[in-house]
Amino acid sequence: MSGIDYKKLRAAQKEMARKGTFPFPTYAEALFSQVLITRRPIESAFGKNFEKKNNKKPLAVPGPQVASTREEGPRGDEEKKGLLQSLGRFVSESADEESIVSFKGGELKDKSTLKSDLVLKQSDLVTGIQPRIIDTFNEKTKVIFVGECPKDFDSESPDSDLLSKMITAMKIRVGTHCRVFITKDSEIAEQEWFGLLKELTSDIQEIIVVSLGALATNTILQKKERLSKIHGKEFNLSLKRGAETVQIRVFPVFHPDILQINPNMKRSAWLDLQKVMEFLS
């Protein structure tokens, strides 16, 4: 062993490595070539078929690949579902009258904001109960405010509560609006609403209903809706009276009691009432 010239051996190894004929890589070269750089030094030493013959998995982990534009499987389904949910939120917040968004390949509709096709028949209103009507209700009535009686309402001074002030601010012509208070019980409230519909004379062909709060809104639309989602939107109902049809346009708004608790919501309520004013004008 003492006769071995290590300097010549190392020089020969370097020369063989430079020419690509080095028979076996050093430990450091093998480690760095597998993990950090490439496997080319090993391929140059053992040939191109080294990977095919070697059943062991390489130490190197493949890096991230560019995702395809159309991914199948559970992950792809989740992405599609998220996209549809985003479109649904966009539709519900859009100001389009029909609340329909068209795109290449189809269209998306928000059912909760579409105009309702609810049709009532006067012959079916057999359980009607007379609600509490505050103002004069006749053929000149154009707007009806329907909801639970506000807590600040004073029968001795019926124009001093917040609801009355809101109506005054809307500048609705005197004698053309009416306040109707329903009971908090949902079943009784429905019967009172039907009783109000029975009071519609043959001279009334179209009327606007401002539903105050969730109870009145759900009672009139005959379905449960989140008021925070549909307030300020317009819904169309129809009342069949034989050969005649009464068109009822419903505008849900927040109840005055809620506005008393949270004054910050007054601006939102006023914007909703402005839509009613625009329709009247």
Report the pLDDT value the prediction gives residue 247, as an integer from 0 to 100.
93
Domain that holds residue 170: 119-280
Between 52-66, 80-94, 214-228, 255-269, the lowest mean confidence (pLDDT) is in 52-66
Cα torsion 104, 107, 110, 116: sign: positive
Contact (CB, 8 A) for 192 and 129: yes
Each residue's pLDDT tens digit, 172-213: 988 899 999 999 999 999 999 999 998 888 888 899 999 999
Q: How many independent structural domains does the chain possess?
A: 3
Contact (CB, 8 A) for 198 and 239: no
Residues 249 and 177 in one domain: yes
Residues 144 and 239 in one domain: yes
Residue 12 lies in a domain: yes
Residue with more model confidence, 212 or 36: 212
Strand segments (E) across 76-186? 100-103, 106-109, 119-121, 132-133, 143-148, 177-182
Residues 18 and 40 in one domain: yes
Report the pLDDT value the prediction gives residue 36, as an integer from 0 to 100.
46
Q: Is the pLDDT of residue 49 over 60?
A: no
Residue 142 lies in a domain: yes
Residue 69 lies in a domain: no
Return d(Cα 220, Cα 218) in angstroms, integer. Answer: 6
Name the domain boundary from 109, 129, 155.
Answer: 109
Asked whether the whole model's pTM tops 0.85, one would answer: no
Residues 96 and 126 in one domain: no
Q: Is the pLDDT of residue 3 over 60?
A: yes
Average pLDDT taken over every residue of the chain:
77
Residues 156 and 253 in one domain: yes
Report the pLDDT value the prediction gives residue 93, as an integer from 0 to 100.
52
Return d(Cα 130, Cα 202) in angstroms, integer. Answer: 18
Each residue's pLDDT tens digit, 156-168: 888 889 999 999 9
Residues 39 and 86 in one domain: no
Return d(Cα 107, Cα 161) in angstroms, integer. Answer: 45
Residues 33 and 78 in one domain: no
